[in-house]
């Protein structure tokens, strides 16, 4: 099952016990062979034969070893899978030439994305975590191995990006890939056609802010530790902010603002409900702050009362009022002046008479748009009416 072929005696543990039980190793092998999952054996055989082809193809960039100098296990692989050393090296050479063919790369990338995972964008590029390189089709492993001749050990990277048509490989290294939002600290672009290596570093030493690698689950396999949690996290992030095909999005500061506006916070590898109210000067929609809606009435300004909501639901209601009513009005008509907004029970006690909307305008050129919002979730605040006034001609 492991080797994809019949093992040699020196590759078997407890061979004396096997021979004693079955009479000979050949009988033991026949007994085992009838009980094996043949599909799993075939998969193992394919993986092992690909390993041999990748090894021999990349030997082109070194002095090729004679067959007799190969490790004994590799000699057995060559004989079992290819018959002889010449046939194996000839097939490896064909794969090496295929690695220079964009069409072959495209087909292999499609197969890899369907069977292993990773992130494929049309016929442009394919990205995958470095730990999955060994499971890629042989032609992709050879393509990446060619870049490794110029770059070095690919295992130190986190993400490998195969540029299908341009003959390039990009190697991405993060500060901590286990984090839900890793930061890219190094990006190396290897051009196979020109045999050039270009390095881009990020961080304090370079003066360039490390970009965030969004949608980490794109590059993972469902069998990798933490995949399910990362996928859920990424889906939530996708509802909060826009992320492009290159997994780039807003800066960390901008993202945290958007997360806070959504009433959430990042806790470990998850987005959870934020149990802290926003600050008065935090954005409430795209044009206003919470202060604009809370400290705007004449009585609130005159008395100096805090007039703060006691419930997070009230802050959410104010944000929805701003996003769904006030922002569209401002975007269409221009700046507005709010004369009434949120009203706490404490503030309501200071307002003489009853709370009502201002009288209808008598001037034909002055129009008021009233919008009622329930800011009284859980009985912690009262209903309020936001009046928007703008004189226009």
| 71 and 111 belong to one structural domain | no
Query: Which H, E and C letters describe 18-34, residue by residue?
Result: HHHHHCCHHHHHHHHHC
Are 133 and 57 members of one domain? no
Q: Is residue 235 part of a domain?
A: no
**289-307 pLDDT, tens per residue?**
999 999 888 888 888 888 8
Q: Is residue 349, in this structure, part of any structural domain at all?
A: yes
Q: Is 329 in the same domain as 291?
A: yes
* Structural domain count, the chain: 3
Q: Are residues 324 and 381 in the same domain?
A: yes
d(CA 149, CA 126): 20
Give the model confidence (pLDDT) of 157-191 as tens digits. Answer: 999 999 999 999 999 999 999 999 999 999 999 99
Rounded distance between C-alpha atoms, residue 176 and residue 238, angstroms: 21
Q: Are residues 126 and 210 in the same domain?
A: yes
> Same domain, yes or no, for 293 and 213?
no
What is the Cα–Cα distance from 94 to 86, expressed in whole angstroms?
13
How many Å separate Cα 25 from the centre of its chain? 50
Which of 218, 242, 274 is the last residue before a domain boundary? 218
Please indicate, yes or no, whether residues 301 and 365 belong to a single structural domain of this protein.
yes
Contact call for residues 96 and 64 (beta carbons, < 8 A)? no
Q: Are 88 and 138 in the same domain?
A: no
Does residue 83 sit in the same domain as residue 110? no
CA end-to-end span of the chain, whole Å? 83
Structural domain that includes position 114: 102-218
Specify the pTM. 0.74
SS3 of residue 60 by DSSP: helix
C-alpha 291: how far from chain center:
35
- What percent of the chain lies above the pLDDT cut of 90? 58
Chosen domain end from 167, 199, 218:
218
**pLDDT at position 33:** 83
Output b/e per residue, 158-184; b: 16+ Cβ within 10 A: bbbbbbbeebbbbbbbbeebeebbbbb
Q: Within a domain: residue 91?
A: yes
Residue 316 burial class via C-beta count within 10 angstroms: exposed 0-12, middle 13-18, buried 19 and up: middle
* 273 occurs within a structural domain: no
Which residues, including other chains, have CB under 8 Å from residue 275's CB and lie 6 or more apart? Answer: 312
Residues 380 and 309 in one domain: yes
Tell me what pLDDT residue 126 has. 97
Domain boundary among 61, 82, 97: 97
Three-state secondary-structure class, residue 169: strand
| 118 band by pLDDT with thresholds 50, 70 and 90 | very high
Residue 338 within any structural domain of the chain:
yes
Nearest Cα residue to 184 out of 169, 173, 199, 170: 173
Does residue 361 share a domain with residue 291? yes
Assess if residue 3 is contained within a domain.
Answer: no
Q: What band does 246 get if pLDDT is binned at 50, 70 and 90?
A: very high
Q: Do 153 and 108 belong to one domain? A: yes
In a domain, 214, yes or no: yes
Chain centroid to Cα 128, Å, comes to 11
Examine residue 259 and state whether it is found in any structural domain, yes or no.
no
């Amino acid at each position: 099952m492991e080797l994809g072929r019949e093992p040699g005696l020196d590759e078997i543990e407890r061979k004396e016990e096997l021979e004693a039980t079955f009479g000979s190793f050949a009988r033991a092998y026949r007994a085992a062979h009838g009980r094996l999952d043949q599909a799993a054996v075939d998969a193992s055989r394919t993986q092992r034969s690909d390993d041999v082809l990748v090894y021999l193809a990349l030997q082109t960039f070194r002095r090729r070893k004679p067959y007799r100098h190969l490790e004994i296990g590799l000699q057995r692989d060559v004989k079992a899978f290819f018959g002889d050393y010449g046939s194996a090296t000839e097939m490896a050479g064909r794969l090496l030439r295929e690695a220079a063919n964009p069409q072959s790369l495209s087909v292999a990338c499609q197969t890899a994305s369907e069977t292993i995972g990773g992130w494929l964008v049309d016929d442009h590029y394919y990205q995958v975590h470095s730990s999955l390189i060994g499971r890629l089709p042989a032609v992709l492993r050879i393509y990446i191995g060619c870049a490794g001749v110029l770059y070095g050990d690919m295992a130190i990277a986190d993400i490998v990006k195969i540029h299908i048509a341009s003959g390039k490989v990009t190697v991405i290294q993060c500060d901590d890939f286990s984090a839900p939002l890793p930061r890219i600290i190094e990006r190396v672009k290897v051009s196979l056609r020109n045999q050039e290596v270009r390095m881009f570093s990020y961080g304090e030493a370079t003066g360039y802010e490390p970009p965030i690698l969004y949608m980490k689950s794109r590059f993972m396999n469902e069998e990798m530790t933490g995949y399910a949690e990362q996928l859920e996290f990424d889906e939530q992030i996708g509802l909060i902010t826009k992320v492009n095909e290159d997994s780039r999005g807003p800066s960390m500061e901008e993202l945290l603002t958007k997360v806070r506006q959504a009433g959430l916070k990042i806790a470990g590898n998850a987005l959870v409900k934020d149990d802290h109210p926003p600050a008065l000067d935090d954005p409430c929609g795209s044009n206003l702050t919470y202060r604009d809606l809370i400290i705007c009435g004449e009585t609130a300004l005159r008395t100096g009362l805090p007039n703060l909501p006691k419930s997070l639901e009230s802050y959410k209601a104010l944000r929805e009022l701003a996003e769904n009513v006030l922002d569209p009005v401002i975007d269409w008509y221009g700046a507005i002046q709010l004369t009434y907004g949120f009203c706490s029970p404490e503030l309501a006690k200071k307002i003489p008479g009853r709370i009502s909307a201002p009288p209808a305008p008598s001037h034909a050129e002055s129009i008021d748009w009233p919008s009622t919002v329930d800011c009284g979730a859980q009985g912690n605040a009262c209903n309020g009416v936001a009046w928007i006034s703008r004189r226009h001609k």
